[in-house]
Each structure stands twice: as C-alpha cells, then as structure tokens.
Amino acid sequence: MAEAPMKLILATVIFILSGNFDSCNAGDKDFKFQSFERTLIKQLLEKYERLGKIGRPVMNNSQTLNVQFGLSLFQLMDLDEADQMFTVNVWNKFAWRDEILTWNPKNYNEVKHVRIPVKHVWTPDIVLLNYADERLVELREVMLTVDYTGQIFWSPPSIYKSMCRIQMEHFPFDHQICYLRFASWTLNGRRLNLTFLDGIKSALLDDYQESNEWHIVAYPAVRRFFRQTCCDEPSPNLIFFFVLKRNPDFYAYLLVLPCILLAVLNLVTFWLPPQNPARMMLGMNILSGFCIQMKFLTLSTPSASNTIPYLGKFCTSKYVLPDCLNDSDLLYFKVWRIYR
C-alpha cells in the first residue's frame, strides 16, 4: 500500500522535471536565435564605427547615392491665416541603400532583417526648405529597418510648419494652396539623387484624419531642380502641394447670413416716413450691426493680408446707406424746424 503513493510522487517529479527540461531547451533555441541577431547588429555597428558615419555610404566617391522620399499625411493641424503658417503632422518615408550594412544571411541563421537605432548610421540630410519656425529639423528618433542587401527603410514622424501665402478675396468660400518643399541641405544632384518613393508623385492620405475646417481637394507633387547656395550644381527638390478648401458653414451662419439680413433691413428704412423717429433708430441699429460684423470679420482674417475679402467690401459699402439716411433725416428735421 505504501508503494502506490511513492510511485505517484515519483511520476509527478519526473513529469515536472521533463517539462522544465523541455522549456529550457525551447529557451535555449530562442536565445540561440536572438544571439544571431544580436551578434549581427553588434558586428554591423562595430563596422560602421570603424569606417565612420560621416560621409555617404558608398564605396566609390564618384557614385551617386539614390534616396527615395515620400510623405504620408496624418493630420492637418492648423492653417494660421494671420501668421500665414501651414502646420501638418506627417510620417516621412526614406529609402536608400547603405553598402556598409550588408551581410550573408546564411552566416546568421537566415536573419535577413534587423532594426538599428538611427543615431548609429548615416542618414540623408533631407530638410524642409520653406520652414516657418525656429526648428530646421523636426524628426523624431525611431529605429530604421535594414535588410541583408543594405536596403534601408526609415519612417520617422514629424511636425512641419511651412510658410503659406493666404489669399482672402473669396473668404469664407476660399481655396488655399500650400506646399512643402524638400531637398538635401548640402548635397547636389550628382552626389544625392532625390526621387519619389515607389514613383508616387503625391502625398499619401491613407491614414489621414479629416479636419473640421479644411478639406484637401488635391495633393499633387512635382520634382524640380534648383541651384542652392551650398552647391554649384542644381539639386533635386520634391514639392508636395496641398489644395485646401475651407468649410464655410460656420462663417456662413455668423457672417454671410447676418450681412444679407442687414442689407435687406436697409431697404426697409425707405418705407418709413422721414418724420418717424423709428426710421433714424432703425438706421442707427443697422449701422451698429454692420460695425459688429466688420469687427468679427477683422478677427477672422489676417490683418496683414494683401487683399480684402469681397464680404468685407460688401459690408463696408452698406455703411453708406444708413449713414446717408441718418444725415438726410437730420437735414429734414433742421429744415422742417426752420420753415414750419
């Protein structure tokens, strides 16, 4: 009878030990796989540190480095009419080949892709040329992906603020055209050939979050060559355009509709006889209403704008009618008191 419990205890101990042994073997396999990747990354970084990350990652100095660049728009944060500043939240997409970061996958247990901190390798100095704030570079540090052929893909998020000339003639039914212009800060086209990622000549809006005030109706991109102060030869520039249409609903209710109603009330004053005091009171109230509308319009449009909205011209022209009516009423009462 005593042998049965002993056999049960022995079987349990053997089962537990066998399970631990299997888990240890699995852990050893995982560690072995991880060790290949760690060893590879360590060797690549040591090689890079030995050769240095200053300078283009090419074997021949006369060779042109091809860099592909794309822009994925995530959010249109603001279009400041007063400061004429266009602010967007984007994901940059870079792709190039680094001849230093190559290896044979057979020597590393078929590891074909690794992720390396961006601070340890060379990256292209692609910057926003028409920036509008004190930060020339706004790239958040993220890992880059490298395959065994040396092909690198890097997608850092960033917030760009660019200059954008605002045209306000048709406010609040206006369209605005803003653009982001990218190029290498120090390298000309012979040393760094900047092209569109996968040949897509537009921004990507797959992950775009709609704005409440602006709608993007078009977003083409072009490649142009410009001669910069840094370089004797022209450099390729990638220019991403954004055609924006304002959502006029808010301003239509608060600006356009009240101006139309005040203009209609202007006509009502002609129906009242000059000797009626209500005529002058109505004219003064209409004039006050236009003053309030002009104040709101002034706050909604940039004060340094080169153009005046048609809505502002319309409201200003309507100042004349109630003012003339009030002056004519005063003249009427003056004459009436003299010759009564």
Domain 65-247: state its class.
Answer: mainly beta
CA-only gyration radius of the chain, Å: 35
Q: What distances in angstroms separate CA 187 from CA 55, 152, 221, 235, 274, one per listed residue?
A: 11, 19, 21, 7, 77
Which strand (E) or helix (H) includes residue 15? helix 3-51
What pLDDT is stored for residue 338 in this prediction? 64
Q: What is the pLDDT of residue 32?
A: 47
Q: Under CATH, which architecture does the 250-339 domain have?
A: Up-down Bundle (1.20)
In this prediction, residue 90 carries a pLDDT of 95
The answer to whether 56 touches 133, Cβ cutoff 8 Å, is: no
Domain boundaries, the chain: 65-247, 250-339
- The pLDDT value recorded for residue 136 is 54
Match 């044979």 to its residue by tokens: 104
115: buried, middle or exposed (CB in 10 Å: 19+, 13-18, 0-12)? exposed
Q: What are 248-273's pLDDT values in tens digits? A: 888 888 888 888 887 787 777 777 77
Write out pLDDT tens, residues 182-234.
999 888 889 999 999 999 999 999 999 999 999 999 999 999 998 876 667 88
- Give the integer Cα–Cα distance in Å for 169 and 301: 10
Note the pLDDT of residue 26: 45
Residue type, 311: L
pLDDT along the chain (340 residues), means of 10: 54 51 46 71 91 86 94 94 90 95 92 92 92 68 92 94 89 93 91 95 94 94 85 88 93 83 76 69 76 76 71 73 61 61
DSSP 171-239: TTS-EEEEEEEEEESS--TTTEEEEEGGG--B-B-TTPBPPSSEEEEE-BEEEEEE--TT-SS-EEEEE
Predicted confidence at residue 114, as pLDDT, reads: 94
Provide the 3-class DSSP secondary structure of residue 306: coil
Rounded-to-integer distance, Cα 293 and Cα 298, Å: 9
